[in-house]
Structure 1
Amino acid sequence: MVALCTVLGLLLGSFANVVIYRVPAGLSVVSPPSACPSCGGRIRPQHNVPVIGWLWLRGRCADCSAPISGRYPLVELAMGVIFGAVAWGAGVTWALPLLLTLAFFSVVLTLVDLDTMRLPDALTLPFAIIAGVLIVAAAAVSGDWWSAARALAGAAVLGAFYFAAVLVYPKGMGLGDVKLAFILGGVLAWLGWAELAVGGFAAFVWGSIVGVGAMIVARRATGVRIPFGPWMFAGAWTGVILGPPIAEWYLSVTGLS
């Protein structure tokens, strides 16, 4: 399963590169076929093999020798490694397809937000639909409708919290963050309350660390903007991986357990 998911991640990493480039530009991800942005020459099938194609071409277009960004194979490689790691950690469970979906959109939306400071509806809406379908399908097959109800509650709670934050301080976040919070709240709550609590809080911890770092580098305390989507994903994965042990530790030290 790990090897299969790794190969799937490599293939989806190639598609992710198309999505990251075309969706913010308002272009179709289906047509036209991938081509060199410099000369317009179409990418040959053998050159589209994830990572290997870029190495084969030595990072240059086969037609005009224009350089091809190293980010393309890095995205493909990262997706493959992340998918393999998720499969290794989750195993063959109902959580696996949902976590793989989270992994795909984590990479895509993180890079789009870093590039454009936007979380487009054209990406968050499919993320929400796919996550919702997987959660309902898992509940229908396993009979665990409580987890699905918990996911809906978690989506509402985290989404409402971010919406309130936008109303209080509109310059700090956008509605794209609110929509993403709704989706992440559902995914994390489906896994458990500990994952939701830790994941929601960790996003602000990561965001604060990066924000302070950005201010130090810029040598100013105001006017420094950072995209928040990447740190929402960082927080979500913190909740997925460390949510239960962190929650248990917190309850023990506070005497609430």
Structure 2
Amino acid sequence: MTTVLVLACGLLGLLVGSFLNVVVHRVPAGESVVAPPSACPRCGHRLRSRDNVPVLSWLVLRGRCRDCRAPISVRYPLVELGTAVLLALTAWHLGWSPVLPAFLYLGCVAVALAAIDLDTHRLPDAIVLPSYVVGAVLLLVAAAATGEWDALVRAAVGGAGLWLLYFGVAVARPGGMGFGDVKLAGLLGMHLAFLGWAELAAGAFAGFLVGGVVGVALLATRRAGRKTAVPYGPSMLVGAALGVAVGAPVAGAYLGLMGLQG
């Protein structure tokens, strides 16, 4: 049954990924994500249904518009495929759990925010703020289904705690971190803490670690200078994913190494 769940979530990721391409393109510009229908930005021809099949259409068209032969960015199939892989891995890790819908939604949001931040160095409120409401509702449903109300309290405390941590960093280092990152921190902290304190601690630490590694790599390859603005949202999102995936076993191993676990 787990195989069926993983495959179903992977298929869902392909379909949602196609929509996320629209979100990534339109939300930063303040445009509607539902109208008008998708069209080639060069010739204006609307996409046919057969040209809107995730990944496959891009391969069949060889990455070009059917009408004007303008190139179509490889990012479109990568977003679709990346969303599919992320949702499939989420389903594989969490299984048939009441909390799965909350993390599937967070995974979709993460893909959109990472792509937008890389493009525009922004994490739009239009995506982040509604995600607090959707995430809270889905986590509430999960807590009600399992009776683990302490997890819901932990989510509230963890979300507020990570928000405050990032807020402190943003105030201490003006310009080094945007308030979009602060808002995202609260959303990630809420989800990570629902799973456990270990996931929250590991996800928060991994976010800073990934961000530091990326910064050093950019400096070493001279793709950025010390004053270059580097989007931090993707590092936070990768860190959160690591917290979900390995937070509990890493914390257990650390406690065992310190002799604090029986």
Asked if TM exceeds 0.5, the reply is: yes
Q: CA offsets per residue over residues 70-104 of structure 1, 9 Å max, x none? A: 11111111111221222122111112112211211
Structure 1 residue aligned with 2:151: 147
Name which of 17, 20, 23 aligns with 1:16: 20
Q: Match of 2:73, as an amino acid?
A: S
Name which of 111, 114, 135 aligns with 1:110: 114
SS in 1 for 2:171: helix
Q: Is the Cα–Cα contact under 8 Å of residues 6 and 80 in structure 1 kept in the other structure?
A: yes
Structure 2 residue aligned with 1:172: 176
Q: Match of 1:165, as an amino acid?
A: V
Alpha-carbon deviation of 1:221?
Answer: 5.8
Query: Following superposition of structure 1 onto structure 2, how do residues 33-72 of structure 1 map, counting pairs within 5 Å?
Result: 33-72=37-76
Q: Is the Cα–Cα contact under 8 Å of residues 5 and 80 in structure 1 kept in the other structure?
A: yes
Name which of 217, 221, 225 aligns with 2:221: 217
Q: Match of 2:197, as an amino acid?
A: W
Is 1:192 matched with 2:196?
A: yes
Q: Mark the runs of 5 or more structure 2 residues left unpaired by the alignment.
A: none
Name which of 122, 125, 130 aligns with 1:121: 125
Q: Mark the runs of 5 or more structure 1 residues left unpaired by the alignment.
A: none
Q: Match of 1:198, as an amino acid?
A: A
Alpha-carbon deviation of 1:46?
Answer: 1.1
Please report the RMSD computed on the Cα atoms of aligned residues, expressed in angstroms. Answer: 1.4
Greater mean alpha carbon deviation, residues 9-18 or residues 141-150: 141-150
Q: Is the Cα–Cα contact under 8 Å of residues 98 and 141 in structure 2 kept in the other structure?
A: no
Q: CA offsets per residue over residues 87-129 of structure 1, 9 Å max, x none? A: 1221111121122112111211111111111101011012212
Partners of 1:219 and 1:175 lie apart in 2 by 24
Partners of 2:181 and 2:224 lie apart in 1 by 25
Structure 2 residue aligned with 1:208: 212
Q: Is the Cα–Cα contact under 8 Å of residues 200 and 236 in structure 1 kept in the other structure?
A: yes
Q: How many residues align?
A: 257
Partners of 1:219 and 1:120 lie apart in 2 by 25
Give the alignment's TM-score, normalised by structure 2.
0.94
Partners of 1:3 and 1:244 lie apart in 2 by 25
* Structure 1 pair 168–127 and aligned structure 2 pair: CA distance change class (3 A): same
Structure 1 residue aligned with 2:86: 82
Query: Following superposition of structure 1 onto structure 2, how do residues 20-31 of structure 1 map, counting pairs within 5 Å?
Result: 20-31=24-35
Partners of 2:226 and 2:90 lie apart in 1 by 38
What is the identity percentage for the equivalent residue pairs of Structure 1 and Structure 2? Answer: 52
Give the alignment's TM-score, normalised by structure 1.
0.96
Q: Match of 1:158, as an amino acid?
A: L
Q: Match of 1:80, as an amino acid?
A: A
Q: Is the Cα–Cα contact under 8 Å of residues 98 and 145 in structure 2 kept in the other structure?
A: no
Q: CA offsets per residue over residues 22-78 of structure 1, 9 Å max, x none? A: 101111101000000001100011111111111222211111111111111111111
* Structure 1 pair 245–141 and aligned structure 2 pair: CA distance change class (3 A): closer
